[in-house]
């Protein structure tokens, strides 16, 4: 059975992972399983696939070399340790909401089709409606500004509070459009608000930070890490992590003195340049438009504490 959605930057991710027969591979964000299918085709000895969404696990394909784990990718080192796996050769992470989640109106991720205001990647914790109907106006504005980089966050937050209770995605999108003005043909102003609330509800940036650290602990020397992100907040976090862990962060100022003493040894080699989708892929898969791939190779230094 073919995967229902095209994984972005598939060839580039597989190239960065440099998979070989006998490798142990981890897919931290299984989704429709596109990266894992390609990894298995490379002859890996075993693939461990994580997803916090029980629907993705339930709908997954079967393979004797595949172990599916319903868990957040930030917990991958602990989950694999419980299965007797202490190190792996390659890890792939595709950050953010999946196409399957966006396409299902009942999940509440998109305003393209009306659905319940949910936005949870898993089935636990408060929904988007729970947050918007109970949070203080200032807290809502802070989330919109921090995670959506929304310049009119206070105006939108005020409109949300005035319209409570909120229950549907179409209702939220209409509130945002009315608050900031909507001009057909331009980017829908609800996009940033939906992104911000989704990131907050799922704790996505904290999850990414913890997941990168878990990958650092789990990869063996020479192990490869590939991360695909879809917006600037995620990409900045990955870029900062790889630069920091490789010792390639630029000094803030040439006039500042060098730090005394030596910090932890670099746990990754100098990262490769960011990779973005080709024109051919963009024609076939518009979702790849905002995708950025960053990758790194693990050194033999101990993981940072």
pLDDT value at residue 185: 76
Whole-angstrom distance between the N-terminal and C-terminal Cα of the chain? 43
CATH number at 138 reads: 1.10.150.170
pLDDT value at residue 76: 98
Gap between the Cα atoms of 74 and 293, Å rounded = 19
* Range 137-141 contact pairs with CB under 8 angstroms and sequence separation of 24 or more: 137/161
Residue 171's contacts (CB-CB under 8 Å, 6 or more residues apart) are: 117, 163
Sheet holding 24-27, edge to edge: 66-69, 46-50, 24-27, 88-94, 219-229, 292-297, 275-276
> Do 203 and 209 meet the contact criterion of CB atoms below 8 Å apart?
no
Looking at the structure, tell me whether residues 40 and 90 fall in a common domain. yes
pTM of the model: 0.91
- Full DSSP string of 44-67: -SEEEEE-S-HHHHHT----TTEE
- 80: tokens are 């694999």
271 lies in a domain? yes
Q: How far is CA 296 from the centre of its chain?
A: 17
In 3D space, the residue among 291, 202, 293 whose CA is nearest the CA of residue 239 turns out to be 293
Looking at the structure, tell me whether residues 233 and 96 fall in a common domain. yes
Q: Could you tell me the mean pLDDT of each successive run of 10 residues in the chain, 305 residues long? A: 68 97 97 96 98 93 97 97 98 82 72 91 91 98 97 98 97 96 86 95 96 98 97 96 90 49 87 95 90 98 95
Q: 131 lies in which domain range?
A: 111-202
Looking at the structure, tell me whether residues 196 and 216 fall in a common domain. no
5 lies in a domain? no
Q: How many domains does the chain have?
A: 2
């Amino acid at each position: 059975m073919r995967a229902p959605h095209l994984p972005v930057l598939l060839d580039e991710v597989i190239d960065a992972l440099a998979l070989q027969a006998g490798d142990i591979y981890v897919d931290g964000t299984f989704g429709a399983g596109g990266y894992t299918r390609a990894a298995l085709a490379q002859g890996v000895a075993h693939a461990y696939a994580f997803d916090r969404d029980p629907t993705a696990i339930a709908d997954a394909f079967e393979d004797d070399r595949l172990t599916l784990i319903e868990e957040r990718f930030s917990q991958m080192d602990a989950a694999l340790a419980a299965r007797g796996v202490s190190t792996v050769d390659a890890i792939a992470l595709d950050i953010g909401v999946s196409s399957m989640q966006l396409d299902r109106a009942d999940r509440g991720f998109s305003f393209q089709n009306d659905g319940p205001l949910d936005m949870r990647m898993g089935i636990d914790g408060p929904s988007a409606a729970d947050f918007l109907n109970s949070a203080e106006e200032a807290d809502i504005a802070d989330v919109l500004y921090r995670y959506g980089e929304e310049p009119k966050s206070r105006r939108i937050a005020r409109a949300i509070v005035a319209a409570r209770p909120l229950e549907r995605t179409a209702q939220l999108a209409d509130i945002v459009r009315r608050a900031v003005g909507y001009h057909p043909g331009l980017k829908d102003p609800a996009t940033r608000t939906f992104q911000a609330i989704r990131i907050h509800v799922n704790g996505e940036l904290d999850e990414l930070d913890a997941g990168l650290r878990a990958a650092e602990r789990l990869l063996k020397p020479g192990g490869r890490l590939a991360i695909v992100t879809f917006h600037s907040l995620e990409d900045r976090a990955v870029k900062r992590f790889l630069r920091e862990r490789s010792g390639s962060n630029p000094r803030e100022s040439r006039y500042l003195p060098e730090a005394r003493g030596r910090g932890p040894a670099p746990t990754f080699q100098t990262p490769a340049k960011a990779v973005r989708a080709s024109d051919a892929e963009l024609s076939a898969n518009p979702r790849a438009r905002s995708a950025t791939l960053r990758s790194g190779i693990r050194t033999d230094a101990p993981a940072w504490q």
